Homo-oligomer: A and B are copies of this chain.
């Protein structure tokens, strides 16, 4: 694999990696539903330390998935790319396909 090709997959992986955490998936879903949320609201729903939530938001923002806007004391985050929701359809597809047909293999749950 040459370095140009490698760079392409690394760039893709950076975006996908940013989504690869349950809390961050929850955030994306929540923002899709509400349009935007401040950190404190997400923090309350998630039930973790605000510093932890802030770090998750930073990961998503750095990946180009979210954007933020400060208004007064609060920072509001929203999705920058609506198509990320397609991930979920696909992921659900993988999971259903897995539970249906993975009886005989050693794979266990997805």
Contacts and interface: CB of A to CB of B under 8 A. Distances in A.
B15 A63 contact: no
Given A64-B97, A83-B93, A13 B9 contact: no
A65 interface: yes
A97 B45 CA distance: 29
Please classify the interface of chain A as helix (H, G, I), strand (E, B), loop, or mixed, using the class held by over half of its residues: helix
How many copies, total? 2
Interface residues of A, number: 53
A86 B63 contact: no
Interface of A: 1, 5-6, 9-17, 19-26, 29, 45-47, 61-65, 67, 80-84, 86-95, 97-98, 102, 105, 107-110
